[in-house]
Structure 1
């Protein structure tokens, strides 16, 4: 569990030591400090160096463990960097994942306080809710389809503790895949006869369309994206379980959130979901 001393280590100028464990600890402290002080920090890639993507996921794991120790409950996972439009925005061309916790999940129309975020952006997605475990390192598309109880329209509010969103894959992985919050629709849809690759998306900000996309932008299909995630999490000993919510990845470009407002996502055949971003809540 992260202590107050750990929180302020980066502000005191702590750097990585001689080994990968020191680098991981320093990166975790830097991100924890940014979240605690609500001040975006420098990227952590300078700390992790050549220790590889596994070191970044170890940072994520330690931060998730601290969050759980503080009382949060893991409720699923999210996939990031699936849409070409989002990959182009950051110059990162491979997917990643992060954890979802209960205090990150909001319902359709529920107020979401703007000041809980540092640098928020909105994106339209399809959320999967699992009816059974997905604990196979070699999970197939058929396994994912069989395990999915239903899907929901969803808005993800991504956020970054890294200053100005200047990210590499190591930075966003360590920062829990740049997670913030998710807003879920309330009308479930089963996958029977539904081709998610063909689902069109429009995201509105105060009735103005600001982002367009489709299911095929998400690794070819959101089902393919969830299959990738199931394999990765099983391989890393963190398998998806029955009841988990899985945010399957952006269907189009993300949109910066600079002030309060209404964000509404329309998905062909799946209905809509609305997020109310409010200031001074």
Structure 2
């Protein structure tokens, strides 16, 4: 795709996301470089970035979406909201949730190769968080197209920290328990953070102090109905909750 085509595609995606129109399953994203180039242009149009997310950080998910490595996307700063948020259903085509651990950065991460050990010094704290996703009617499994359009991210509800240990995870939405396990995390959070720091540094983007980094879902996509409250608790770490209203 030419630079003009990338800019045009980003503008189309931004308009569709703003208006909550259906996700379009494009066939013309040839490679990861182009996918992230469209996402770069999309981020420039939509506003300040406040964080980053990893996706498909399990081999079976990568195979399903036709990619050979985890995906990633930006999170808009205005869409990061605090614990106990009350979310209007009208703001989403169809809200879905992913319970995750978020890393909140206390310092900029240098744009040089990082690993799980080296990024630890840049983390202020870890905390449970819900990623908000709006698939807007998508049934796509075309990973390159999904990456180009921001991997369905519609924001984050950031929890309240209460400690530094990662223990048993409990996730409940309404009356349904979706997770009650000693450790359901797809990978250590700092490993996911290092991956994102390296991926975006290669694109000339530095992860900065205050950024919220979503480190991978503990479950599959979870539905929430109007009137429901969703809660995630991680023993030794903290809790997060949100409610969906009409």
Q: Give the TM-score of the pair, scaled to structure 2.
A: 0.88
Q: Give the TM-score of the pair, scaled to structure 1.
A: 0.78
1:213–1:58 CA distance, 2 compared to 1 (3 A): farther
> 1:13 maps to which residue?
none
> 1:24 maps to which residue?
6
**CA offsets, 1:131-156, max 9 Å, x none?**
12112331122221111111111111
> 2:102 maps to which residue?
127
| Structural mapping, 1:56-95, within 5 Å | 56-68=35-47, 73-83=48-58, 94-95=69-70
> 2:174 maps to which residue?
206
Alignment equivalent of 1:249, drawn from 201, 210, 216 = 216
Higher helix share: 1
Alpha-carbon deviation of 1:26? 4.2
SS of the aligned residue for 1:240 comes to: coil
Alignment equivalent of 2:15, drawn from 10, 33, 38 = 33
Alpha-carbon deviation of 1:57? 0.9
1:37–1:242 CA distance, 2 compared to 1 (3 A): closer
Unaligned runs of at least 5 residues, structure 2: none
Work out whether residues 213 and 252 of structure 1, in 8 Å CA contact, stay in contact via their aligned partners in 2. Answer: no
SS of the aligned residue for 2:229 comes to: strand
SS of the aligned residue for 2:192 comes to: helix
Unaligned runs of at least 5 residues, structure 1: 1-18
Work out whether residues 137 and 232 of structure 1, in 8 Å CA contact, stay in contact via their aligned partners in 2. Answer: no
Which structure has the larger Rg? 1
Work out whether residues 23 and 138 of structure 2, in 8 Å CA contact, stay in contact via their aligned partners in 1. Answer: no
CA distance in 2, matches of 1:188, 1:250: 20
Higher strand share: 2
Work out whether residues 160 and 175 of structure 1, in 8 Å CA contact, stay in contact via their aligned partners in 2. Answer: no
Question: Cα RMSD between the aligned structures?
Answer: 2.4
| Structural mapping, 1:1-281, within 5 Å | 19-44=1-26, 46-48=27-29, 50=30, 52-68=31-47, 73-83=48-58, 94-161=69-136, 163-190=137-164, 194=165, 196=166, 199-211=167-179, 217-218=185-186, 220-279=187-246
**CA offsets, 1:177-208, max 9 Å, x none?**
22012111122534xxx4x4xx4322211132
| Count of aligned pairs between the two proteins | 246
Alpha-carbon deviation of 1:176? 1.4
Alpha-carbon deviation of 1:40? 0.6
> 1:5 maps to which residue?
none
Runs of 4+ in 1 over 6 A off after TM superposition: none
Work out whether residues 152 and 185 of structure 1, in 8 Å CA contact, stay in contact via their aligned partners in 2. Answer: yes
